[in-house]
């Protein structure tokens, strides 16, 4: 029952389940262990006193420069409960080693980068996204210059092969198509279809079909299909 009361964002910086023990006087206490990697600090809270639910010492520890820091605590406070703060702040920090990933980039801002290398799965996902959004050839990942940029200083860094990138892009496309189709089928409103033609930079005529709808007050447009117009 006590676990249900640990809902404040500050609890996100500690292990979810505290250790229960008893001091020399027989008083029960809860001991919270800091969740930051390599930090062994614990905060003990005596359950026999009037401030048994106080989080003051926990906040003081989290704000330390040698621990999470005030910036991390400030970000956690933007979330309504410990579960959300743990998912959006501390879990990301432990995985990437950077607090920057816990911020959402709003509008035009300067991009930030993690100090930790990507996992193989993350590298595949980012490469597939890069290829799809910028129309890059899959063989680019085996270009000697590209490999030198990626592996200098970290020779063991994983770079997916062109075949892997091709497979991942196709898989992402299939998944996105299913999600868009389901969203359009469940949409309770009017779908506005439109078509447009233009000439691509390589002098090919292209024909596209789009659909526009209103979702949560925002206008959303999806490209349903793109076809090359035959000569």
Instruction: Examine the pLDDT at 166 and tell me if it is beyond 90.
Output: yes
Q: Is residue 62 part of a domain?
A: yes
Q: 14 and 72 in one domain?
A: yes
Q: Is residue 116 part of a domain?
A: no
pLDDT in tens, 67-84: 888 878 888 888 888 888
Higher pLDDT, 120 or 51: 120
Q: Crossing angle for the helix pair 162-186 and 120-134, nearest 10 degrees? A: 70
In this prediction, residue 158 carries a pLDDT of: 93
Q: Which domain holds residue 161?
A: 121-186
Q: 230 and 163 in one domain?
A: no
Q: 81 and 135 in one domain?
A: no
In this prediction, residue 148 carries a pLDDT of: 95
> pLDDT category, 103, cuts 50, 70, 90?
low
Q: 91 and 31 in one domain?
A: yes
Distance CA 28, CA 48 (A): 7
The number of distinct structural domains making up the chain is 3
Percent of the chain with pLDDT over 90: 34
Q: Is residue 136 part of a domain?
A: yes
Instruction: Examine the pLDDT at 107 and tell me if it is beyond 50.
Output: no
Q: 97 and 47 in one domain?
A: yes
Instruction: Examine the pLDDT at 7 and tell me if it is beyond 50.
Output: yes
Instruction: Examine the pLDDT at 48 and tell me if it is beyond 80.
Output: yes
Please identify, among 75, 102, 129, the residue that sits at the C-terminal boundary of a domain. Answer: 102
In this prediction, residue 231 carries a pLDDT of: 74
Q: How many C-beta atoms lie closer than 10 Å to residue 23's C-beta?
A: 11
Handedness of CA 87, 88, 93, 96 (dihedral sign): positive
Q: 39 and 20 in one domain?
A: yes
Q: Is residue 89 part of a domain?
A: yes
Q: How many C-beta atoms lie closer than 10 Å to residue 175's C-beta?
A: 10
Instruction: Examine the pLDDT at 106 and tell me if it is beyond 50.
Output: no
Q: What is the pTM of this model?
A: 0.51
Please identify, among 74, 102, 130, the residue that sits at the C-terminal boundary of a domain. Answer: 102
Q: Is residue 108 part of a domain?
A: no
Q: 146 and 131 in one domain?
A: yes
Please identify, among 102, 137, 170, the residue that sits at the C-terminal boundary of a domain. Answer: 102
Q: Is residue 47 part of a domain?
A: yes
Q: Is residue 145 part of a domain?
A: yes
Q: 78 and 31 in one domain?
A: yes
Higher pLDDT, 47 or 92: 47
Q: 139 and 178 in one domain?
A: yes
Q: 138 and 198 in one domain?
A: no
Over residues 41-67, the mean pLDDT reads 87
Q: 66 and 26 in one domain?
A: yes
In this prediction, residue 112 carries a pLDDT of: 58
**Tokens encoding 168:** 């991942």
Over residues 166-192, the mean pLDDT reads 91
- Which residue stretches of 32-161 are H helix? 56-62, 70-76, 82-85, 91-96, 120-134, 144-151
Q: 170 and 156 in one domain?
A: yes
Instruction: Examine the pLDDT at 66 and tell me if it is beyond 80.
Output: no
In this prediction, residue 32 carries a pLDDT of: 93
Task: Pick the range with the lowest mean pLDDT from 3-7, 63-67, 106-110, 214-218.
Answer: 106-110
């Amino acid at each position: 029952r006590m676990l249900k009361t640990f809902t404040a964002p500050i609890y996100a910086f500690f292990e979810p389940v505290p250790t229960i023990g008893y001091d020399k006087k027989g008083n029960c206490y809860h001991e919270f262990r800091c969740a930051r990697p390599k930090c062994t600090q614990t905060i003990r809270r005596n359950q026999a006193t009037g401030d048994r639910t106080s989080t003051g010492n926990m906040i003081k520890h989290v704000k330390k420069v040698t621990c999470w820091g005030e910036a991390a605590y400030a970000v956690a406070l933007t979330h309504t409960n410990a579960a959300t703060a743990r998912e959006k702040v501390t879990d990301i920090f432990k995985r990437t080693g950077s607090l920057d990933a816990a911020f959402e980039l709003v509008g035009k801002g300067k991009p930030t980068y993690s100090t930790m290398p990507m996992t193989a799965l993350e590298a595949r996902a980012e490469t597939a996204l890069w290829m799809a959004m910028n129309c890059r050839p899959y063989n680019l990942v085996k270009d000697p210059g590209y490999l030198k940029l990626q592996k200098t200083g970290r020779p063991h860094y994983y770079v997916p092969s062109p075949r892997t990138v091709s497979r991942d892009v196709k898989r992402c496309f299939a998944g996105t198509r299913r999600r868009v189709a389901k969203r359009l089928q469940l949409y309770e409103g009017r779908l506005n279809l439109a078509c447009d033609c233009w000439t691509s930079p390589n002098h090919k005529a292209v024909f596209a079909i789009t659909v526009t709808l209103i979702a949560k007050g925002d206008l959303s447009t999806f490209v349903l299909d793109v076809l090359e117009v035959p000569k």
